[in-house]
Amino acid sequence: MMDLDVALGKLDEVESRFERLNDELGSPEVYTNVERMRELSLERAEIEETVLMYREYRQVVTSIAENEELRFDADLGALAADELARLLPRREELISSLMAVLVPVDPLDRKNIYLEIRAGTGGEEAALFAADLFRMYSRYAERRRWSVEIMDISETEIGGLKEVIALVSGSRVYSFLKFEGGVHRVQRVPETEAQGRIHTSAVTVAIMPEADDEDELQIDKSEVREDIFRATGAGGQHINKTDSAIRLTHLPTGIVVTCQDERSQHKNRARAYKVLAARLADMRRIELDNEEQAARRAMVGTGDRSERIRTYNFPQNRLTDHRINLTLYKLDQIMEGDLDEMISVLQAEFAARELSER
């Protein structure tokens, strides 16, 4: 993690820049140049919250020092102790928040995402857990008032999911879910297990930022094979009577995208190209990244247990994220979409790593 002194030095620079912006915005000359005034005002607005937070941090540190001196005073010791009980946690909150704002903004953070979940090792139990994960993310999306729109879904006869692709739309979706990509391992007694034995299964999750229109326009359609077929439901049941489902195969990369949720062939084709554009754009980003960044994004793997990023242990009500050694004993709440604590810890940890590399 970045040294606190280094972080405070960077915050001093931000505050100095804020004061210079105030000085320039207060000069008569700036009012003759509307574009310059707009640029300065925008830059000032972007750093104002950080500066105010930094100033509060300095006030809190000063107050802590003053109250520590009074702790053993006969008359004021109790009051000082109460103040320290309030100020010390606030100082830690401010340090965490200030560290986070020093991380360079990821331009993808504001994007919607395609969530892709596939059953891996474990057969029917893996498919059932894939359905549980999709429900978990859908519940989390409800809490954040995001929308979840299914692009393609392949169900099993007993309610599992072989695969699901969904567009998750809302405020800063990628910034919250970007660390969810990878292999998720589950340990529990399957519904299909008569002996009561704990089984281990794996599900793979991919998080792909929604592609820009330019990314879609870059697709050479002569390199894409289109197959049209009849959409099917669980166990191969027909869910409509028209050949409306679309399968796209990108010949240079071998990427295959299927969309069959809409009854309109035209809508399924449009959706499939959007998903294909997202996959191709994400593949290009990973190629440009170094190995560490590629591993951090952790796209869909094989479902092999050695690639796991997280384990869900139902008998112990325990979730473990192996990347940051985080263990939470509230798996029942997490599976209902209570992901805030886990995601905030992930964001803070990766922000600290990003800062330490600067």
CATH number, position 42 = 1.20.58
List the one residue out of 85, 55, 53, 92 whose CA is nearest residue 67: 85
For residue 306, count CB atoms less than 10 angstroms from its CB and return exposed for 0-12, middle for 13-18, buried for 19 or more. exposed
Q: Tell me, what's the pLDDT at 82? A: 94
pLDDT bucket at 304, cuts 50 / 70 / 90 = very low
Do 164 and 69 share a structural domain?
A: no
Same domain, 121 and 92: no
Question: Which of these three, 48, 74, 101, is where a domain ends?
Answer: 101
If asked whether residues 176 and 325 sit together in one domain, one would say yes
Same domain (yes/no): 117, 94: no
Those residues whose C-beta lies under 8 Å from the C-beta of residue 200, and which sit 6 or more positions away, are 121, 122, 185, 186, 187, 305
Q: Could you say which of 101, 134, 154 is where a domain stops? A: 101
Average of per-residue pLDDT values in the chain? 85
Residues 149 and 179 in one domain: yes
96 plus 140 within the same structural domain: no
What are the Cα distances from residue 356, in Å, to 4, 103, 313, 326? Answer: 11, 10, 32, 20
Res. 235: pLDDT tops 80: no
Write down the pLDDT at residue 336: 97
Tell me the average pLDDT across 300-315.
Answer: 67
Instruction: Give the tens place of pLDDT for each residue, 137-169.
Output: 999 999 999 999 998 899 999 899 999 999 999
Q: Residue 107: inside a domain, yes or no? A: no
Average pLDDT over residues 263-270: 86
Q: What is the mean pLDDT of residues 167-175?
A: 91
**189 in a structural domain:** yes
Task: Out of 101, 125, 157, pick the residue that ends a domain.
Answer: 101
Range of the domain at 83: 4-101
Q: Residue 158: phi, psi to the nearest 5?
A: -110, 20
Specify whether 45 is located in the same domain as 143. no
Considering the domain architecture, whether residues 244 and 325 belong to the same structural domain is answered as yes
Do residue 85 and residue 174 come from a single domain?
A: no
CA-CA-CA-CA dihedral for 351, 298, 131, 326, to nearest 10: -40
Who's near 347: CB < 8 A, 6+ residues apart? 100, 175, 176, 179
With respect to residue 106, please indicate whether it lies within any of the assigned structural domains.
no
The lowest-confidence range among 4-18, 89-103, 268-282, 285-299 is: 285-299
* Side chain identity, residue 5: D
**126 and 228 inside one domain:** yes
For the segment 88-114, the average pLDDT, to the nearest whole number, is: 85
Taking a C-beta distance cutoff of 8 angstroms, is the pair 168, 175 a contact? no
337 shares a domain with 258: yes
State the CATH number of the domain containing residue 133: 3.30.70.1660
Per-residue confidence (pLDDT) for residue 233, from 0 to 100: 54
User: Is residue 267 within 8 Å of residue 246, measured between CB atoms?
Assistant: no
355 has a pLDDT exceeding 90: no
Question: Domain tally for the chain?
Answer: 2
